[in-house]
Structure 1
Amino acid sequence: MRILALAAAVGVALSVGVAQAEQWNDPNGRVTFDKPSGWQAEAAGPQTAQTAVLLFNASNDCYVFGVANPNTASSSADAARNTTTPLSPDAWATAANAVRDFFPAGSSPQVVTQTVDTSGFWPVQRAQLQAPSRTVFGAVQVRPGVEMRAFCSSTSGSESAAFAQIFNSLGHPNDATWQSQASQQMSERDARAAAAAAQAAAQPEPSTTQAQPTDPDGVNDGVERSSRDPRARRRRGD
């Protein structure tokens, strides 16, 4: 049975449980993920502005979102791959508040712990959040102009292995192209850095030798002209 009720669009089945985990592909082209074996998937509200999917089984509920982000639309794939700075608590709260079943209106999601998993090609932002009546586990991945988000909760309050499966499988239909671009951009960036280092190494080092002061007679020997002139020595009785 389900532990949560949908606010809207309940009953629109997108796929059914199968013997093996299967990749779920968004008809609107915003997100992909692996649906755990035995779980159901339903549309969670209108799909015009964003993709929202509810995954569930007898003891777990997960919401997956594909959301446009105009602020990163002009970013490169390499920049998305190197987005490893942890999200701020405010950013987590903004993303999590979209899940009204977990975070009712007026509640403020609290970040308990967070990490950034960089073991895969694309970084995965992870967090444990505290809702008024439950513990929620979340993940966010970024690509140029889009974010993939997932928020999961269980009846026991503990994290299920299926959550990690969903989080790590978050992706986008354009990932193959972006991954190729990111790899090429990284190679070009490394080549520029190597060329700059080689150019710097080839530059002559500035001289550290200081010019000796010139005596009034124009000779840097520390001897005054009068001491060098024989006539001056005769006048002194030398």
Structure 2
Amino acid sequence: MRMMLAAAVAAIALATPASAGPWSDEASHLAFVAPDGWNVRQLPAEGMTYILADAGSKECHILASQRPETAEISPERIRAGGETPIGNPAWAQIPGALPTVFAADAAVTQSSVDTSAFWPVQRADYNSQGQVVHAAIQFRPGVEFWGFCFSRTGADDAATYEGVLRSIAGTTDAELQANIDDRRRGRRRDQEARDAGSRSAMDEAMRNTLQDRAMEAVGRSQ
């Protein structure tokens, strides 16, 4: 991965800027929204889509990394797995693979999982040479979306970076969510059918019991 990212860095000067605003790539399933006035560059990188969005000293590095080993896992399982924190030890390994983003002294200061949206987002902040790096990771079948936003110099712009990181999504998210919703509805229908069957059997048993008691009462009265 380090070699792929190094190649991407070397290509920054050759990349063609794109306009700010919504950006998407169907091949990698990556989508996000760049702030007004920012430049967006797609950099050559083997095995991933690497986007650099920047304005002056403010930068967001957004990656879509292909994960063939998870491609056949159901969207529901991927989503559920994303609710489990990856933990600080996993976050601590990332700076070494991204020298374009992190200084050698980068350290995790906090990590969490944001479940406020449909797709959980792994979140972390780093202290990197005195600057705050805001990080986000999301999982989808066959792909991971990584985002890192920070200021090279000057003050942190947490609100802007939060907006960019929250905008990262998959171009097939609507389809994946529909798949999950269909599975849930199917399970609910199955459960309702089982419940209805249980109620029917119980009602039948109660009717039989009442009939037996009625016949016993008639027999005693004769």
For this structure pair, what is the TM-score category when the shorter chain's length is used for normalisation? 0.7 to 0.9
Structure 2 vs 1, CA of residues 73 and 162 (structure 1 numbering), >3 Å: closer, same or farther? Answer: same
Amino acid at match of 1:10: I
Answer yes or no: is 1:167 the counterpart of 2:170.
Answer: no
> Superposition RMSD on alpha carbons, in Å?
2.7
Residue equivalent to 1:16: 19
Asked if 2 retains the 8 angstrom alpha-carbon contact of 1:30 and 1:67, the reply is: no
| Displacement after TM superposition at 1:203 (Å) | 9.9
Q: Residues of 2 paired with 1:16 and 1:63: CA distance?
A: 16
Residue equivalent to 1:156: 154
TM-score by length of 2: 0.74
Amino acid at match of 1:43: Q
Q: Residues of 1 paired with 2:11 and 2:77: CA distance?
A: 36
Asked if 1 retains the 8 angstrom alpha-carbon contact of 2:28 and 2:48, the reply is: no
| Displacement after TM superposition at 1:121 (Å) | 1.4
| Displacement after TM superposition at 1:62 (Å) | 0.9
Structure 2 vs 1, CA of residues 23 and 98 (structure 1 numbering), >3 Å: closer, same or farther? Answer: farther
Aligned length: 192
| Displacement after TM superposition at 1:179 (Å) | 1.4
Residue equivalent to 2:32: 33
- Seq. identity, %: 30
Asked if 1 retains the 8 angstrom alpha-carbon contact of 2:87 and 2:111, the reply is: no
The one-character-per-residue Cα deviations of 1:162-208 (angstroms, maximum 9, x if unpaired) are 2111111111222221111111123334455666778899999xxxx
Answer yes or no: is 1:88 the counterpart of 2:87.
Answer: yes
Structure 2 vs 1, CA of residues 193 and 8 (structure 1 numbering), >3 Å: closer, same or farther? Answer: farther
Amino acid at match of 1:148: F
SS at match of 2:182: helix
TM-score by length of 1: 0.69
Q: Residues of 1 paired with 2:157 and 2:192: CA distance?
A: 44
Q: Residues of 2 paired with 1:171 and 1:95: CA distance?
A: 21
Amino acid at match of 1:31: L
Structure 2 residue runs of 5 or longer lacking an equivalent are 1-7, 203-222
Higher strand share: 2
Answer yes or no: is 1:79 the counterpart of 2:77.
Answer: yes
Q: Residues of 2 paired with 1:200 and 1:131: CA distance?
A: 61
